[in-house]
Amino acid sequence: MSKDTKNMSRTRVAEQHRAQVERKRKLARLVKRLVLGAFVLLMIGGIVISFLPKPVIVDIAKVTRGDMRVTVNEDGKTAATNRYVLSAPLSGNMNRIRLKAGDSVAEGEAILHIVPGAAPLLDKRTKANAEARLGAAKAGLQLAGAEVARATAGLEQARREAARIAALVETGVASQSDVEQANFVVKSRTEELRAAHFSSKVRKQDEASARAALGLLGGKATSEDRLDISAPVSGKVLRVLREDQQGLVVAGAPLVEIADLSALEITADILTADAVHIKAGAKTRIVRWGGERDLMGHVRRVEPSAFTRISALGVEEQRVLAIIDIDSPKEEWKSLGDGYRVEVEISVWEGSDVLTAPASSAFRHEGAWAVYEVVDGVAKLTPIEVGHRNDLRVEILSGLSEGAEVVAHPGDRVVDGVDVALE
């Protein structure tokens, strides 16, 4: 082989080598570009995905049908319906009262006695006052008798009316609610008669005390004379106002407070804005009073005059007293006493088969009510018409159907058209 031929062969080999090296370099650059491009695409994709809107996590509740009850909830306090404060009918020396709070007393039982002091009991002015007291006691006794007669007549009339309405129910002329109202009137008249009898007993005791006081003044007073102060009713001693004391007592000084704890009522001060919705006879549930089960009662009356009370936040509130009678059997609340704290739930409206949604789901929007309805994972602003409300549920009159899903607690991130998801 010639020298030129060898040189040409070497040149071709070198060129082939260079071409092969160049191809490898190009391939390496291409791979780098592809890798860099893929990395850039991944970065861009991650950024885009991070900026895509995410579903808002919410609580979702369903619109359901069922019973609904609207109540006024307030704190209340028990009070003895029939209470009496024994006071000294005249000045003198009293013995030490042996009774303690919680002791039982029987009607007519002697609580204490007063003996004359020195000459002042023979004073003409004192005697005139005693005669006037006796006259007032007699008039009060006559008034109490008239109240008993009126209450008796009212009860008889209420019973006749209840019997007449019960007969009309059988013919279809009257409804069951008429019967319940008539029975409520009978119960109210019975309580009025009981209170009238209690008042009559108290008036008799006043008359007896006044007569005894005048008798002590009628002649010469001696140390043997004494005036017994007796219990006007059977009941419990609430307070002894002159405990562990004896000696001089002035006329009119309170001594012992007695009450019949078998007849308790509950007083609750209600905001006037709520009181206008409460009617006499409204069903009342007495809760969190300390017993094992709730008690039932009814509103006897809402007093017509309101008063101002400063709330815990320092706001002036107009409130009015609601008087509630306990309907549950005495055996269920026999542990209750005078002045005990309770909580009452007074019904102002009740309904059955009512379409309701959570109260927290409804909000004001452009002067009306609305909710966010969840449709295919999207929150849709839906106007609704609401009826009655309580702390937990709101009555839906229009805008939603049974089984619809709504956002239970819509926050600032929930807007019309946003994707939502259940937490």
pLDDT of 401 reads 93
Cα separations in angstroms, 125 against 132, 214, 398: 10, 12, 78
d(CA 309, CA 21): 98
Spatial contact of 348 and 277, defined as CB atoms under 8 Å apart = yes
How would residue 221 be classed by pLDDT, with cut points 50, 70 and 90? Answer: very low
Indicate the burial class of 225 (C-beta count within 10 angstroms; 0-12, 13-18, 19 or more).
middle
- pTM (2 d.p.): 0.61
Q: From CA 277, how far away is CA 274, in angstroms rounded?
A: 6
Contact assessment for residue 66 and residue 354, using Cβ atoms and an 8 Å cutoff: yes
Tell me the percentage of the chain whose pLDDT exceeds 90: 35
Give φ, ψ of 242 to 5 degrees.
-125, 55
Greatest pairwise CA separation for the chain in angstroms: 178
Quickly count: other Cβ atoms within 10 Å of residue 27's Cβ.
10
Amino acid at 328: S
**Which amino acid is present at 33?**
R
Quick: pLDDT tens for 6-39: 666 667 766 777 777 777 777 777 777 787 878 7
Highest mean pLDDT among 143-147, 154-158, 182-186, 364-368 belongs to 364-368
- Quick one: tokens of 366? 């452009």
> Which residue type does 161 have?
E
